[in-house]
Structure 1
Amino acid sequence: MDLSARRQPPTVRLRRLAGELRGLRTKSGMTREEVSEQTGINSATLYRIETARVRPQRRTLVALLDKYGVTDEDRRDELIDLSKQATQLGWLQAYESALPEEYTAYISFENEALGVRNYESLFVPGLLQVESYARAVIAGAVPIADEDYVERRVEARLKRQASLRKPDPLKLWAIVDEAVLHRLVGGPKVMAEQLNALAAAKQPHVVVQVVPFGVGAHPGMPGSFAIMDFPDPADPDLVYIDSMAGDLFLEREPDIKRFAVIFEHLRAAALNPVDSARLIREVASKMK
């Protein structure tokens, strides 16, 4: 077994390092198999390094840089420093063992994002959930979960929301289908609390819109998704899709463009933020 790399939740820096190493190998004209044969690095490990599933140990990274002919000391130091920073998970470290791997990856990326464009068809976006609603959503979605599991997930969800309260807060544009407003998650009292909080969520860095029933069929009907963009231009946008079949990350440019277009169509179909807040309050007022 090759021990030159260890598994960890991906971070933006690890994703960037993986892209840099893929680019260097491609530029060198070598296949993974050839690199493996010439360096002794297991080909499966090399694949995991290039797909941001593991962080290479320093000796492995140095061997790859040597093989790819990276001789500039500043460039080598830059990539080595990037590798060192790739393990920084912050508060998420305490919840890593309690969360599904792909969800942990999503939170890690979200924590470093500049902005998130989120469409939800079934529930209020996690970044805008109140505690009682979050607890009801998690308990309902995972009926076999014990109380400790539910509480750990609720804690993690609420900690995510700190990104909206930072001095330089995350920019969130959230669009929900009107069905989200009417589904009685946790009962009328919980829904009233959640909807009133959602109606009041508007801030300079937070936009909330609702796609009303009257629109009919729309591009968001196949399911929810989130598009993340990052402060550094070197980190391309990332699409996250959460489904019953599993979580999926998309980073190919055609996929990013496709979901960006879908989001623009949803934004155009949705009520404007003022009318959206008015509708949310109307629905909340009927909760008894």
Structure 2
Amino acid sequence: MKILLTNDDGIQATGIRSLAKRLSRSHEVTIVAPESNRSGVSHSITWLTPVRIRERETIENVSSFCTSGTPADCVVAAATISGIDRFDLVLSGINHGQNLGVDIRYSGTLSAALEARVHGIPAMAISVVSEENPDFLAAVDFSESFVREYDWKKLPKHTVLNVNVPAIPRDKIRGISCTRPGGLIKRRWFEKKVNEWGEEEFWMRKEILHDSHDEDLDFVNVDKGFISVSPIDFFGSCDEAFRSSLCDDLRIFEEHWFAKDNEKLSVASCRE
């Protein structure tokens, strides 16, 4: 497949580099990502100023470009550089930090995937739920296998998949859940500080709140050790027939994914 990788953490982020290294073994991969961290910009686009697009060496055998724009700009830039029909799939991530519940309203990671869908390209956003130094292995393994096995023609016209992977070792993942975003909200405020020059500065602070713990919510499943896969429609809804179909597909994929793990363990055991 011809795959475009983008993100909101920036072209040098560990998540996108890890994913590029793995996928480039069997796919034609192109990276177009922001030149610096653009987290939390949602679906903003650069409209009143020009966007710089520069080729950048990052991963061996992977064509890479960085832009001065937003994650959504990066998808537009990729379509401009290579043509809309160039790519079979867009993957946004792997994001360093969660995109659960209300986060989807702020997420540049998810917005890049949605922008790809505007251009008619199937897309998936992937995040690791950690603010510290996450282990990306489980997210990379899931992405590689799911890209290969899922029938991307099933994805409805305006829908993307939003994947959140618990920040736990690969062998501790309990399963894969078809979920929906919700229940998790954030109250925000500015905290005033005085800098070294005596000037007042205001820093954003947040408090995480939960107003629901329904079993099918994304954050509930991640907290239990499951990979969360939420179908998200560009217009804020999701076709229920597709959701049901996706849940069935994820159950089948889960069986295959864990079966491969067992095969690897058996082989390792025999070698010992």
Bin of the TM-score, shorter chain as denominator length: under 0.3
Question: Which of the two has greater strand per residue?
Answer: 2
Larger gyration radius, structure 1 or structure 2 = 1
Question: Which of the two has greater helix per residue?
Answer: 1
Query: What is the TM-score of this pair, normalised by structure 2?
Result: 0.25
